[in-house]
Amino acid sequence: MKGSYSKYSAKNDFFWLILRPWIFIPRILYILLTFIFLFLRILFQGNSKNKNVQKNLSKYLFDVITDLGPCFIKLGQALSTRPDLVRQDWLTELTNLQDNLPAFDHKIALKIIEEELGSPANELFEEFPDSPIASASLGQVYKAKINNSYLAVKVQRPNLYFLIRRDVVILRFLATFLSPLLPLNIGVGIGEIIDEFGKALFDEIDYQKEAENALKFANLFKENPNIFIPKLEKQFSSKRIITTSWIDGVKLRDRALLEENNLIPASFIKTCVISGLQQLFEFGYFHADPHPGNMFALKGGNADCGYLAYVDFGMMDTITNSDRLTLIKAIVHIINEEYYLLAEDFQKLGFLTKEQDLQKLVEPLKEVLGGSLGAEVGNFNLKNVTDKFSKLMYSYPFRVPSRFALIIRAVVSQEGLALRLDPEFKILKIAYPYIAKKLLTDNSEEILEILLEVVFDKKGQIQVEKVESLLNILFKDSENINSDLMPVANAGLKLFVSKKGSEVRKNLLLSLIKDEKLEFTDAKKLLALIRDTFSPLNIAKSAVQNIISTV
């Protein structure tokens, strides 16, 4: 593999462009005029009931985004995953931004292959087609054949480094200049957020970096039977070419198409969301561009968890261990409706300043997030929370730390993908049980510390109602009882008798002492809760289910 591109630098790239006014001025004027005309057309035609008008408008929107180039296509792809934000007829057209863009000249692609790999495509492969099978924002994919096996050969678009470098600078300039005029309150960090986007794009156009990402991602999921990562073909990969094994699957963009292929949409939603949670809360390394063009449904899964393939590992990001654990704590605090502690989590993550009076945020947070486990859980999704939070952020000094820009993009894209397959999908129905199971089965010191905060209060007394809430989240339906009861029971027993469990045993003993007297009331409630949850009948059902799932 050959050398890499230069890294993104906001300062250096700005000076590079500002010293070339013959590039900068015409481009910024073109972008501004394009958006003015788009805004005016949406203003006058956006509410039209005429289907032809809307069809033409959606096509115009697609053409505008495509014409503006890779940076804007990436932004459009994020919109294309949100059926709750974009009307359906526009969404259908925007979906083409994922992998159905106009292809660049095939002769140029062949020239790039020869320059990068040292030989013409017809000498490297047994079969190489005359046209790409898919064309996306940064490259186009060919289905080639070698040794009776098919490969996906992705060839980068020409002049990409220059186009992205130019437009990221202009996007940052416009965002910083216009942000005071917009009805947004994301703090002073909008330039920093564009910087994160720029860094990710610069990484994404370096296919050597993508190859490393693919290998790392495959290693993280090597023990997961529900996730497939295509094999990297190093001998056919370089700075502008990346080749992997071919995937025969169905893209996660159309519920009807999945059903036509006898695939169960709900099973792929579950695999998709759980794998996303694993990336965020276990690995600390995640796919930041999970749109339907980058995910395939494969045959071989089951009705509960579908067999899912990830592709395109250019836009990846990491989350620090500290942030990862704080996010887990934040979800636990939402579950337990502890809004002051949640405000502390926001402060630690950088969404609030250290000077902020957190007590003033308790009631507003309760208004936004309250009832997410009760009657309102059926209405709880990121769109509803975002709508409420936008008002909260405008009234209080919330800001989005730049390091969370790609995390938010990934989570919002993933929920949007799930909503495309199931409009009734609620992310908490999967996320809450996942976090509950992690707390009850992960015996790492960090997670054990969080679990102890749930089980015992600051005085060391058992919080039976919070333990019950945690178990209810995980075992409130028969499916979860059957699949999760045995792992939780085994993990709990191992923890209790292990060296790590000494803190649990000590706290349990101390909780029995109140006012220098033995008090068994809370202990009896806890034992009754455990006895009812892990009854012999439930254990037997779980054991049978686990045997069936391994056959």
* Catalytic residue annotation: 289
**Kind and range of the H or E element at 484?**
helix 478-497
3-state secondary structure of 251: strand
Q: Measured between alpha carbons, how far is 236 from 538 in angstroms, rounded to an integer?
A: 53
Please give the Cα distance from 523 to 529 (Å, whole number). 10
Helices (H), 118-252: 121-124, 160-178, 190-204, 207-220
Residue 371 — left, alpha, or beta (φ > 0 → left; ψ -120 to 50 → alpha)?
left
| Cα 421 to Cα 250: distance, rounded to the nearest angstrom | 13
CA 274, CA 299: separation in Å to the nearest integer?
A: 18
HEC letters along 505-541? HHHHHHHCEECCEECCHHHHHHHHHHHHHCCHHHHHH
Rounded Cα distance between 208 and 335, Å, is 42
Rounded distance, CA 155 to CA 131, Å? 12
Tokens linked to 63: 């053409």
Helix axes 405-421, 265-278, angle to 10 degrees: 170
Separation CA 141–CA 139 (nearest Å): 7
- Provide the residue count of the chain: 551
* 471 alpha carbon, distance to own chain's centre: 26
Is 79:47 a contact under the CB 8 Å cutoff? no
- DSSP string over 269-334: HHHHHHHHHHIIIIISEEES---GGGEEEETT--SSS-EEEE---SSEEE--HHHHHHHHHHHHHH
How far from 245 is each of 249, 296, 462, CA to CA, in Å?
12, 14, 53
Q: Using an 8 Å Cβ cutoff, are 368 and 388 in contact?
A: yes
Amino acid at 287: H
Shortest CA distance to 172 belongs to which of 23, 288, 13? Answer: 13
Residue 221 dihedral angles phi and psi, to the nearest 5°: -105, 15
78 CB neighbour count, 10 Å cutoff: 18
Calculate the CA 520 to chain-centre distance: 45
